[in-house]
Structure 1
């Protein structure tokens, strides 16, 4: 362990060759002495050896940190957050001069000039705003560039979960991406990745951007439906990740936007990393080319006995269970089929029998098509 008396001669040798400011001089010795303030130690040493001219290492950068603090204040003026961290880009010449002194005088285990500038900016901003410095998992991250005198702020993404009920046909689930950026976010789409809001995704996104601000919204859907399908009951669950939100805590309540009813909106830690298992109750309207034999309809009850096998073009094979079956003939060539099934069963392909076995057409021994299908309930 070093003592103050041991470091004084080294400090004297350094100052004879290189003029240093209080911060840069104190930083060279504060860690070995277990002191928290570089500046106070530097002042103490300067009293012994006299004040210095312009700092050889930082060129008196520490005297101008208030300018960069103002840049941070301006960058964060529209953001609400509790914790933050700071990253900096420093001129290579400053780093090189710092490295050369530490190497010349064999000074090890001390903070670099960049680390010290970063720490000092964090302290100044925390003191000014009462926000908490958290380098590990901050709400917001500043990037201060000392080369071009700029400051950028990026806030950590937040994730919402909720449910939606769609009680009107003709409304797609997913929104078409911005033509210019393919959904990445650009000036044309105001960095949202979409330009229109005429879908379930668009309606929810519109509400989110109004409440939280932010750039793009990335959705994780628990299943999907056709544009012509209804989603009833308690609605379809979804998760949405909002990039760079301006606000992090907003009062959320059930609401209706563009005929989409939203409920159970709440902040969650993250979207599920694995696909969630869910069961859907679905009403399917089916028609056939030839008249339907009522006796054949009874065969549909056997759908609960064995899994439905689904083959994808990729070669992937999956099995889906059907737990409940009800049917009702509504005309000579049409009937409704109500099923309770594992999520992910492709309904139209299931009716036709397109790489799904057994399919409705094969069971009834007649070519069938799905006219429409609605989700009556979805349980995760």
Structure 2
């Protein structure tokens, strides 16, 4: 290895950081600077020549590591005004510096080098941590700071925060998430009164707006465990969701304070319970969660029908696997295929407003309106098919969506 070190020293002036980093994965308890100094001494002793400390401008890094303190100051300045507990530093290294070190790796067939950006990340991260008292977190940092060496600037990426909760929707006609206007696709036109929106409000906006104000955030996205139809209410225990809050300047809010702000602003329309903070990884779990759902519907049947006749028909749907071709009403946005879903429980609760009140517990993905109407034969069996007369849902409420288990790493 000493001959290899001598060869590297022969390339030109090199700092101890870069010399040590070429062997950065050897030995323990040493910084690259200490490792480089030791290698330089060992090479001088082996050659029985005078020891020459690192001097001049390093041809590999241009003495970048002399500026660690300056970069740490830039980071601290860039983070002023943000609330954060953890940080991660990354470095965008100019191609010329990367090419210089990679040339040595290749020429000398080095087996254990550490990239320049890794050392820069670590050294600046340690300096920032010492100045701010904040900890470095490699998995879930509150903020990520990118050192743009060529541009001589710092970029700050504030990671979103995630809140797990449940919402109830009491007003029909509100979609779960924001919809761009179909006519102008969000740019604003006469059809949408220049709002860019198909609907004036959504659950996402009613929940997200107060949270954005309190956390000084730039946006909020609602990830729901499924979604109810726009004309359906979501009552009972509520629908699980995760709210993703983008670029929050404040992160240590009290969840009950946020909950109160939402419930006050959206009173009578939407209500939430914020249960806990969540992780990004839980979003995918939530959205793929195949939870059973319970519905309460009002059904109108053509002609006279006794409750006994209805109950006999419902018994024929109890525990049955339903074959449903993609309903016509969603065919424009869903793949046209036949899905099989089970009716777990179905029963009549009585008569309301001249219509039958029916409760259905169904497997995730069961289309309830089509279970009743048959959708012109696309859903079989259906209540319409069994009764031999048209039946349709006039109102639908979701009363239960199963909870997902707490997420993890």
For the criterion TM > 0.5, the same-fold answer is yes
Specify every segment of 5 or more residues in structure 1 that has no aligned partner in the other structure, as ranges.
Answer: 184-192
Distance in 2, Cα, partners of 1:330 & 1:25? 83
Distance in 2, Cα, partners of 1:374 & 1:264? 22
1:24–1:42 contact (8 Å) kept in structure 2: yes
Distance in 1, Cα, partners of 2:244 & 2:324? 31
The answer to which of 147-156 and 101-110 deviates more is 101-110
Among residues 104, 126, 129, which one is paired with 1:126 in the alignment? 129
CA distance 1:349–1:64, shift in 2 (3 Å): same
How big is the shift at 1:176? Answer: 0.9
**Alignment-derived partner of residue 394 in structure 2:** 371
**Alignment-derived partner of residue 279 in structure 1:** 293
Deviations 1:271-302 (A, max 9, x none): 326323223141x2233443445553342441
Distance in 1, Cα, partners of 2:197 & 2:151? 32
Among residues 136, 152, 177, which one is paired with 1:174 in the alignment? 177
Among residues 147, 161, 167, which one is paired with 1:164 in the alignment? 167
Deviations 1:45-73 (A, max 9, x none): 59942562222222222223333323322
CA distance 1:305–1:288, shift in 2 (3 Å): closer
CA distance 1:29–1:293, shift in 2 (3 Å): closer
Among residues 263, 277, 302, which one is paired with 2:273 in the alignment? 263
Distance in 1, Cα, partners of 2:213 & 2:198? 15
How big is the shift at 1:159? Answer: 3.2
Distance in 2, Cα, partners of 1:330 & 1:197? 31
TM-score normalized by the length of structure 1: 0.78
**Correspondences of 1:100-111 after superposition (within 5 Å):** 100-101=103-104, 108-111=111-114
1:300–1:325 contact (8 Å) kept in structure 2: no
Among residues 148, 167, 182, which one is paired with 1:145 in the alignment? 148
How big is the shift at 1:325? Answer: 0.9
**Correspondences of 1:299-310 after superposition (within 5 Å):** 299-303=312-316, 305-310=318-323
How big is the shift at 1:198? Answer: 1.0
Among residues 196, 202, 205, which one is paired with 1:199 in the alignment? 202
CA distance 1:130–1:170, shift in 2 (3 Å): same
Specify every segment of 5 or more residues in structure 2 that has no aligned partner in the other structure, as ranges.
Answer: 42-49, 187-195, 327-335, 404-409
TM-score normalized by the length of structure 2: 0.73
CA distance 1:235–1:137, shift in 2 (3 Å): closer
Distance in 2, Cα, partners of 1:174 & 1:98? 49
Deviations 1:136-193 (A, max 9, x none): 554433222212223223344443221112223333333214889979xxxxxxxxx9
Distance in 2, Cα, partners of 1:168 & 1:30? 62
**Alignment-derived partner of residue 14 in structure 2:** 20
The answer to which of 102-111 and 313-322 deviates more is 102-111
Among residues 54, 58, 61, which one is paired with 2:64 in the alignment? 61
Distance in 2, Cα, partners of 1:379 & 1:107? 56
1:158–1:242 contact (8 Å) kept in structure 2: yes
**Alignment-derived partner of residue 55 in structure 2:** 52
SS in 1 for 2:255: coil
**Alignment-derived partner of residue 189 in structure 1:** none
